[in-house]
Structure 1
Amino acid sequence: MSEKRLKRKKLHKKLFTKNRLVILNEDTFEETFSLKLTLMNVFVVATLGAIFLISVTTLIIAFTPLREYIPGYSSTKLKKDAMELALKSDSLTTILKKNQAYISSIQKVLTGKLDYAKFNKDSILAVPLDSVPKADLSASKAELELRAEVEKEEKEAQQSSVKKKK
C-alpha cells in the first residue's frame, strides 16, 4: 500500500513540477521568450491540439469537394446521374415489356392462334405487368376502440364548449 502511495506521489511530483522554457538570442544571450510549464500542461495542450487538428481535418474533408479525392467517395454529380439513369432504365424496361406483349399478341393473330374478336390493343396495354397482392385494410379491434374513445372525447369537448358559450 505504501509503495503505491509513494509511486503516486512521485508521478504527481513529476507531472506538476514547474519548469522554465527559455528562448535566448544566441549572439547576445538575451532572453527572447520565457515560459513556466509543467509536464501536465504540455500533455493537455498537445492533446487538445491533436483533437483540434483531427476535427478540423475531418470537417474540411466532409464538407468540401476534397472528399472526392478519397477512394470510396463519389461525387454528387455522379450519384445524381446514376439515379437518373436508373429511373430511365426502369421506364424503358416497362415500355419494352409492353411492346413485347403487343408484338406477341399480333404474332398470335397473324398465325391464327387467336380469335379476331378477342384482340384489343387497349386491353393488352391495360394488363398489369407486375401484380401487387391486395392488403387487408380492415380496422383492427384496437383501432376501433381508439376511434370510439376519440369520438367520446370529441363529444365531451364539444358539450363543454357549448356550456361555456351559454
Structure 2
Amino acid sequence: MSESGETKRKLWERLKDTYRITILDDENLEEIGSYNVSLLNFYIFISVIGFLLSVLVISFIVFTPVKRLIPGYGDITDNRKFIEISEKVDALEKEVAANELYTKGLKNLLSGADSEKMKLLRSNHR
C-alpha cells in the first residue's frame, strides 16, 4: 500500500477512535455523567452547530430591519418609492414653471405692456 493510503487509513481510524468523557462532582467524586465520543462525532457536532448558527444569523439579518444597517444594502421598495416621488416632483416643477409663464404673460397682457412678440405680431398684421 502507498504511504498516502496508509495515512488516510490512519486518519480515518483516529477519527473513529472512541473516548470516554466522564463528568465528576468535585466534592465527593460522584459520577454525574459519562459519554462515549469519537473525533468524528465531535467534528460533526461542531459543524452542525456552526451551520445552525450561521443560518440563524443570516435569517436574522434577512427577515428583520437589521438589514438596513448594512452599508450598500438598499430596499427595493424604498428605491421605487423614491423614483416615483422624484418623478412627481419633476412633473410638478414643470407645471409650476408653465403656470408662472402663463401668469407672467397674462399680467403683461392686462397691464398693456407690449412684449417683442406682440409688437412683431402687430406689425405683421397691418
One fold, TM greater than 0.5?
yes
Tell me the matched-pair count. 116
Deviation at 1:8, TM superposition (A): 1.1
State how far apart, in whole Å, the 2-side matches of 1:6 and 1:68 are. Answer: 53
2:47 is matched with which residue?
47
Distance 2:56 2:97 in 1: 53
Task: After superposition, give the CA deviation of every residue in 1:82-114 in whole Å (9 maximum; x if it has no partner).
Answer: 45642431222221342365367667x931414
For residue 7 of structure 1, report the CA deviation from its aligned partner. Answer: 0.5
Taking only aligned residues, the RMSD between alpha carbons, in angstroms, comes to 3.4
Q: Secondary structure, in 3 states, of the residue corresponding to 1:113?
A: helix
| Structure 2 unmatched ranges of 5 or more | none
* TM-score normalised per structure 2: 0.69
| One-letter amino acid of the structure 2 residue matched with residue 42 of structure 1 | F
Counterpart Cα distance in 2 of 1:15 and 1:29: 30
Q: Which has the higher contact order (CA 8 A, sep 6+)?
A: 2
Matching of residue 23 in structure 1 with residue 23 in structure 2? yes
Secondary structure at the aligned position of 1:19 is classed as strand
1:67: Cα distance to partner? 2.7
Show the counterpart of 2:92. 92
Q: 1:102 to 1:3 in 2, by over 3 A?
A: same
Which 5+ residue runs of structure 1 have no aligned equivalent? 117-166
TM-score relative to the length of structure 1 = 0.55
